[in-house]
Structure 1
Amino acid sequence: MQTQYENDQQLLNATAIAVRQAADLLLQRFKPDARPADLPQLLTMIEDNDVAVTAQLRESLLALRPDVQWLDDEKSRGPLPAGEWWVADPAEGNVNHIHGTTEWAVTATLVRDNVPVLTVVAEPLAAKLYTAVRGGGAYLNGQPLHVSQKPSLAAALVSTGQATPGEGKLAYSKIGQSVTAMLEHALLVRMAVPATMQLVQVASGQLDAFWQHGNVLSGLVSGALLVTEAGGQITDWTGQPWTLSSPNFVASAPVMNGQLVAVLKNI
């Protein structure tokens, strides 16, 4: 009898093909000189990308596992009902894509009973494919990933971002306070979207940490699994283990988690 890991590893390989094919479709739609003229055009371009890529991605993933439930609402927050779910984003970083910039991808994560167990993130413009299976490590184009080992936040490059537009004054206040606090402790602070594109850099050691107020599933589950499998630690702002119910999020190497929590816990 096969173990669950062996089953998940085989499913990961097939998932990678499906996600790569969807990413190729999104790449065909990419125009480096794209510049939306106003908000209505911007929203139309975002919707067009979502519609075009979702259909192919959903069909491919549900063909692999027809009994798995489907979630591609990029604003959805957890937890999910019991069972297996595909949590996908057909255009993660859609707003970057339609402005002709480079930080965008297609993602798909299998969540089993509210635990991410396998994920694929495809960046076709950079020819990068990130993969992870729970308990099996994290990889970029087949090469193992490892989080940064810097011991001090004073030498760290850290990042945050909005979970979604229009989050409200309370969320903006917490985001602003967290950035101000982090500026007093980290070497370099940046703010960017989407979360997944920051988290793959944490998993690869290019960024030392990422934090976010809010808990939008499609932006966090892929990166959470990649960072964990690359040797990192995922918690909320109080240092408790992160779950799909957590109100906020921190990802870093274990050695730096306590320093980040000390900065964020009272915000």
Structure 2
Amino acid sequence: MSTVNQEPYRVGGKSFTAVAINTAAKAGEWIKSRLGDIRQVHVKYSPHDLVTEVDKGSEKMIKNLIMTHFPHHAFLGEEGVEPGPLASASALEDVSEAEYLWIVDPVDGTTNYVHGFPFFSVSIALAYKGEVIVGVVYDPMRDELFVAEKGKGAYLRSVKLNVCGQVSLSDSLVATGFPADRSGALAVNMAGMTAIVPRVRNVRNAGSAALHMAYVASGRLTGFWEIGLNAWDLAAGALLVQEAGGKVTDTAGSPYTLSVRNVMATNSSIHDEMQQVLQEAGGTGL
């Protein structure tokens, strides 16, 4: 690896990855401690898009910790953005020129969290000139912290992650999510579901895109797709999958960027087959 590729991970003696890990761990332990103690639940974009005081408190904690170390970096967090796809796109555009941009989902899987369903995570990514170079996804209920650095691999508990070896959809366990946008994105996702379900071993929807992608990276899932996500849902997980040997694109097969909303992440081997099934079913949203 060249020196150029190594430099972005450290500034002034402070490791970006170490800050991301420590911050995700602290936020994760805090949200776990608040489980079952939610005083208010608010609706954001739709009745299926929820936010609690824990989401807001977690994001405030994460932002404060990161800005303490890197006060000149830009920050994009879910709870600092108005609901809806247009507001999300605008918020991303506002920080598109930032050299260093932290992209954060303080509780990925809020609906699960509200209901006490133990599948949610903290997702923290750092982009350098628009490219994700650090990704951390922490599951506090299982104490599993997935970490990736650009060009250096993806790890869980110091063990290098590798995507699974299935080579066809028929042998694959894949996951998806049901979009908050029930008027548009949901119909597209259901068209994809109808086509995918008969072609795979089975489909899961556990309710956290970041963890679904971490599971692709760790070989627990063969693939994942979803319609209508945002940068904070995908950035950390996308790097995990790529660094574990997988492939991440939009649902049309174009390369992943921070602006991707309709995503596919696979072990690479099933990617083209899965994309073709979605395409033929009108399930790409593109």
| TM-score, normalization by structure 2 | 0.83
Q: How does 1:1-267 map to 2 (within 5 A)?
A: 3-8=4-9, 10-31=15-36, 41-43=40-42, 46-73=51-78, 76-77=88-89, 78=92, 80-83=95-98, 84-163=100-179, 165=180, 167-266=181-280, 267=282
Paired residue type of 1:43: H
Q: Structure 2: 5+ residue runs without aligned partners?
A: 44-49
Evaluate the alpha carbon distance shift between residue 238 and residue 52 of structure 1 in structure 2; reply closer, same or farther with a 3 A threshold. closer
Output one character per residue of 1:139-178: Cα deviation in whole Å (capped at 9) or x when no partner: 1121111111101110111111134x2x142312101100
Deviations along 1:101-124, one digit per CA (max 9) or x if unpaired, are: 211111211022222110111222
The 3-state SS of whatever aligns with 2:148 is strand
Q: CA deviation at 1:43?
A: 2.2
SS state of the match for residue 169, structure 1? Answer: coil
Q: Which runs of 5+ in 1 are unaligned?
A: none
Shift of residue 6 of structure 1? Answer: 5.0
SS at match of 1:254: coil
- Sort the Cα spacing of 1:128 and 1:264 in 2 relative to 1 into closer, same or farther, 3 A: same
Cα separation, partners in 2 of 1:52 and 1:224, compared to 1, 3 Å: same
2:247 maps to amino acid: Q
CA distance in structure 1 between the partners assigned to 2:111 and 2:62 by the alignment: 19
Q: Which moved more, 1:221-230 or 1:191-200?
A: 191-200
1:28-74 CA-partner distances (Å, limit 9, x unpaired): 1123xx7x8xxx95328932102222221111011121111111126
Equivalent pair of 2:164/2:218 in contact (CA under 8 Å): yes
| CA distance, structure 2, for counterparts of residue 4 and residue 59 of structure 1 | 27
With over 3 angstroms needed to count, the CA separation of the structure-2 counterparts of 1:54 and 1:245, relative to structure 1, is closer
Q: 2:47 — aligned with what? A: none
The structural deviation recorded for 1:263 is: 0.5
Q: Please state whether the residue corresponding to 2:115 is helix, strand or coil.
A: coil
Determine the C-alpha separation between the residues in 2 that align with 1:247 and 1:92. Answer: 15
Q: Which amino acid aligns with 1:258?
A: D
The 10-residue stretch of structure 1 (40-49 or 169-178) with the greater mean CA deviation from structure 2: 40-49
Greater shift, 211-220 or 66-75, is seen at 66-75
Contact 2:231 2:259 (C-alpha < 8 Å) held by counterparts = no
Question: 1:250, CA displacement in angstroms?
Answer: 0.5
Give the alignment's TM-score, normalised by structure 1.
Answer: 0.89
Is the CA contact (8 Å cut-off) linking 2:163 and 2:246 kept in structure 1? yes
Change (3 A) 1:50 1:247: closer
Count of residues in correspondence between the two structures = 259
Percent of matched pairs sharing the same residue: 28
Alignment RMSD (CA, Å): 2.2
Structure 2 counterpart of 1:261, one-letter code = Q
Q: Secondary structure at the match of 2:51?
A: helix
SS of the counterpart of 1:196? helix
Partners of 1:7 and 1:236 lie apart in 2 by 26
The answer to whether the 8 Å contact 1:215/1:244 transfers is no
